[in-house]
Structure 1
Amino acid sequence: MDPKTLKAGVAPREVWAWAAFDFANSGYTTVVLTAVFNAYFVSVVAGGAEWATFLWTVVIAASNAIGLFAMPAIAALADRNASKKRWLFAATLLCILGTVGLAFAGPGTIVWATLMVILSNLGYNVGETLNSAFLPELAREEAVGKVSGWGWSFGYCGGLVTLGLSLLLVTSGDAVGLGSDARIAGTMLITAAVFAMAALPLFLFVKERAEPRAHEKLPFGKLALESLRDVGRTMKSLGRFPDFGLLAVCGFCYQSGVSVVITLSAVYAAQVMGFTTEDTILMVFLVNITAAIGAFAFGYVQDRIGHKRALGLTLCVWLLMIVTAALAETRPVFWVAANLAGIAMGSSQSAGRAMVAIFAPKKRSAEFYGLWNMALWLAAIVGPLCYGAVSWAAGNDQRLAIWVTGLFFLAALAVLMPMQLARGAAAAEKQNAIDEAADRAASGAVN
């Protein structure tokens, strides 16, 4: 790790500890949302009913809707009190406990499974947002793409570890007398354990460098209301940050498609291509290797060719993936589509996170990342629901649903074109000067 990429006073172990959180939570998305529990929910918990796929998308949409409304206030509070780590710890604990709860799901436990998915996914979403908000405190502006890529790449390694342990359990379950339900439960416990262990370094080593934005102490209730007003003011002021607005819309469009791949790829593989649980886990395992390489390589590509061009390139890869998956009739062709998704997955998400770091004023990083993730969570509601609704309305025609998903990536390319990085960075610097002047005035008033 090149120390020149880090801000003054940031130790390399802090960046590794920060990236370890990506390692931790990637196991959750990989096992629970992508490879194992989504297909288990559709086929076993919901009994393979015609509405089961749509129900899964509704559950995911509900959890993301809660985050959509809760995260802006949490982010604003974290900024105001410089308390990102405390909120991140609470979110991490919620995700871990919710994942443990999924181990007790089984045939017919729709209510319990729904509640645990909502809680765990809410904790994941809040944690991912707050962890991202540490990025501009750690990396120099010219290296945020590289450091963001390190995090995403290391994150996919976490997905590989968790998925590899889960694959070992699933494939060896018969030898130790475990039934299919017990093996699925075991993968949930493995996921929770890896999450807990890998997240620990962040809380031990990463420093909270932000300073409280307010000098006076307010009761929690009043502080929450004031934070919501801050979010409202930020929303109203987005006219001063047009490029951040374009990025948020672009992120909404492409993340709508990405969310379909994350939450429904195992369902598509099982129902269209005839994959078993072991087949799907192995496929996702290998795709995570591709994704880790893609995220790491594109981190350097971003800083060399520019974040906008890098993101545009990954969107083209996504479109190629959609066409390949929709036309696939054999497993080898579908494997090609899956690995194209792996290449694009980490690089597109890493590029978006890095660009927010450029557009966000320094003293409002958590708030801007909160708004960014609002767009992503809205996408995580709209994308899967569109897929589920199209497949249900078309008599479970999943190929038609994947074709419709491609429209999201086309829209993202169209929105990306007018965005200007230099103009967005200049708007952030102007707001930095305004915020610093306000802080000086407030400090003088207190003294």
Structure 2
Amino acid sequence: MAAPGTATSLPASGRRERTGWYFYDWANSAFQTTVITVFLGPFLTTVTEIAAGCPLGTDDCTGRVHPLGITVAAGSFYPYVVSLSVLLTVFVLPIMGAVADRAPRKKPLLAAAAFTGAAATIGMAFVTGDRYWLGGLLFLIANISFGAAIVVYNSFLPLLAAPDDRDKVSSRGWAIGYLGGGLLLAANLVAVMLLSVDGDDQRTLDLARFCIVSAGVWWAVFTLVPLRRLREHPSAAATTERGNVLTDGFTQLGHTIRGIRAYPLTLFFLLAYLVYNDGIQTVITLASQYGTEELDLGQSTLIITILIVQFLAFGGALLLGALATRIGARRTVLLSLVLWLVVVVAAFWLPAGQPVPFMLLGALIGVVLGGSQALSRSMFSQLIPAGKEGEYYGFYEISDRGTSWLGPLLFGLIFQLTDSYRIGIVSLVVFFVAGGILLALVPLRRAITAAGNTPPRLL
């Protein structure tokens, strides 16, 4: 039997509290869109190139920097930092989830993670001159805090919605997040277009810096809404246990890891998802750097493209969802991976200095992005033993919302060896091919039955 306060209980929450929960997605999506997807890659790469001795505005910089005595190509520094931040996040997310499950108060954990990440983002205002190392350090702190806050935020969902309402509540959160991130990005687009001056590379760099800072301010200010409206819902474990929350969290994590091995086919699917989603997240994370450094596109083009992706992701999710009702979720996801292959191969051939082909490719990304993620999440829900949703989705979140690390690592290594962003981007085909093969090999119907669930008519 489930203990009181678990996912199977009917939560006592109202519209005010749910609205507060939605607003954290509104708050943090600015970091995902404005910082990670658009501005930080080109900004930090430019600062690193300055530190490597390349004058501002230099094309094809081949200089090197030496963080901690390690020789790194200027163009590889940002992908390496992304990879390192995600590698660290992989260890933090499961621990944070276990601690949040056993903490009597979740809101202080959410506040600590969110405000730490927002403060690190605002600190990018001090990344001037050749301070690439400061930018890398602040991004490490911000991205790890972002992931930790998401884990705590997601842990509120079972406490705010009964099982039949959870899809609706979760979808509203995603929708409001897309809207919030898109609105700030649109405002930044207007600022860049009105304030930038042709040929003034320093002004462009300063505008990018303060667009990044604006995301930190947005994140911090709107986090106050969920902190005010959410109520504490201590779990049975949190109210009965009197041990140390941190050590108990590690103990619970050990129990979860040992228990998940009893479902090897679920792990097999999770492996497939981690591989192909790593490729998806890498394309999203490094698209702006590729557009700026290789295709010589301006910030306004990048922002418009990301806005196209943001809004088409909704339609794409609906389109692929409708297709899944006809051919099944797995076949639809496999089809989307074929389209992702088209994306990275087409990116290799994109002409430099021409924004329209880049925007058209962004439109294709928008169509496949929402459906790939939504259908993957729904398939995984079929493979989770009843009552274990929170623990299993804690591991699932490791490769969600930009937390890829193998892709940026491969991209950075390829660039360091070849000095070619084009070869780096096309190398990502390995993730979609390998992930698609692994997904096709999962005996999905048998995996669902093994988890104690009834398979749907179409898979």
Interval containing the TM-score (normalised by the shorter chain): 0.7 to 0.9
Q: Distance in 2 between matches of 1:136 and 1:426?
A: 24
Partner of 2:58: none
What aligned pairs does 1:26-105 form with structure 2 within 5 A after superposition? Answer: 26-47=29-50, 49-50=61-62, 51-81=73-103, 83-105=105-127
Identity %: 24
Q: Distance in 1 between matches of 2:17 and 2:421?
A: 44
Q: Distance in 1 between matches of 2:412 and 2:214?
A: 29
Instruction: Report the CA distance shift for 1:121/1:269 in structure 2 as closer, same or farther (over 3 A).
Output: same
Shift, 1:268, TM fit:
1.0
Shift, 1:156, TM fit:
1.9
Partner of 2:207: 183
Instruction: Report the CA distance shift for 1:317/1:290 in structure 2 as closer, same or farther (over 3 A).
Output: same
2:381 matches 1:374 = no
Tell whether the 8 Å contact from 2:11 to 2:158 is kept in structure 1 after alignment. Answer: no
2:55 matches 1:19 = no
Partner of 1:445: none
Q: Which consecutive unaligned segments of at least 5 residues does structure 1 have? A: 1-5, 431-447
Partner of 1:404: 427
2:195 matches 1:173 = yes
Partner of 1:257: 279
| Partner residue of 2:176 out of 140, 148, 154 | 154
SS at match of 1:240: coil
2:127 matches 1:124 = no
Q: Which whole-Å deviations, capped at 9, do the CAs of 1:51-107 have from their partners, x for residues lacking one?
A: 122111111122222221222222111112354433222211111111100122122
How many residues align? The count is 421
Instruction: Report the CA distance shift for 1:8/1:116 in structure 2 as closer, same or farther (over 3 A).
Output: closer
| Partner residue of 1:346 out of 335, 356, 370 | 370
Partner of 2:266: 244
Q: Distance in 2 between matches of 1:93 and 1:122?
A: 12
Q: Distance in 1 between matches of 2:170 and 2:329?
A: 12
Tell whether the 8 Å contact from 2:39 to 2:212 is kept in structure 1 after alignment. Answer: no
Instruction: Report the CA distance shift for 1:370/1:55 in structure 2 as closer, same or farther (over 3 A).
Output: same
SS at match of 1:179: helix
Instruction: Report the CA distance shift for 1:409/1:17 in structure 2 as closer, same or farther (over 3 A).
Output: farther
SS at match of 1:107: coil
Partner of 1:286: 308
Q: Distance in 1 between matches of 2:324 and 2:168?
A: 7
SS at match of 2:261: helix
Q: Distance in 1 between matches of 2:326 and 2:281?
A: 28
Tell whether the 8 Å contact from 1:23 to 1:198 is kept in structure 2 after alignment. Answer: yes
AA aligned to 1:23 is W
Instruction: Report the CA distance shift for 1:294/1:283 in structure 2 as closer, same or farther (over 3 A).
Output: same
Q: Which moved more, 1:107-116 or 1:226-235?
A: 226-235
Partner of 1:112: 134
Q: Distance in 2 between matches of 1:229 and 1:83?
A: 19
Q: Distance in 2 between matches of 1:40 and 1:19?
A: 30
- TM-score of the superposition, structure 2-length normalised? 0.80
| Partner residue of 1:415 out of 438, 451, 454 | 438
2:204 matches 1:201 = no
Tell whether the 8 Å contact from 2:116 to 2:142 is kept in structure 1 after alignment. Answer: yes
AA aligned to 2:304 is L
Tell whether the 8 Å contact from 1:242 to 1:424 is kept in structure 2 after alignment. Answer: no
Q: Distance in 2 between matches of 1:56 and 1:182?
A: 18
The structure that is helix-richer by fraction is: 1
Q: Distance in 1 between matches of 2:165 and 2:347?
A: 34
Partner of 2:358: 334
AA aligned to 1:291 is A
SS at match of 2:297: coil
Q: Which moved more, 1:120-129 or 1:196-205?
A: 196-205
| Partner residue of 1:276 out of 298, 301, 306 | 298
Tell whether the 8 Å contact from 2:47 to 2:132 is kept in structure 1 after alignment. Answer: no
Q: Which moved more, 1:262-271 or 1:10-19?
A: 10-19
- TM-score of the superposition, structure 1-length normalised? 0.82
Tell whether the 8 Å contact from 1:292 to 1:346 is kept in structure 2 after alignment. Answer: yes
Q: Which moved more, 1:194-203 or 1:291-300?
A: 291-300
SS at match of 1:413: helix
Shift, 1:205, TM fit:
3.4
Q: Which whole-Å deviations, capped at 9, do the CAs of 1:400-429 have from their partners, x for residues lacking one?
A: 222221221122222223253785487377
Tell whether the 8 Å contact from 2:314 to 2:370 is kept in structure 1 after alignment. Answer: yes
Shift, 1:110, TM fit:
1.6
Q: Distance in 2 between matches of 1:144 and 1:423?
A: 23
AA aligned to 1:404 is S
Q: Distance in 2 between matches of 1:213 and 1:300?
A: 40
Instruction: Report the CA distance shift for 1:316/1:9 in structure 2 as closer, same or farther (over 3 A).
Output: farther
SS at match of 1:274: coil
Q: Distance in 2 between matches of 1:13 and 1:335?
A: 39
Q: Which consecutive unaligned segments of at least 5 residues does structure 2 have? A: 1-8, 55-60, 63-72, 455-459
Tell whether the 8 Å contact from 1:67 to 1:377 is kept in structure 2 after alignment. Answer: no
Q: Distance in 2 between matches of 1:210 and 1:111?
A: 41
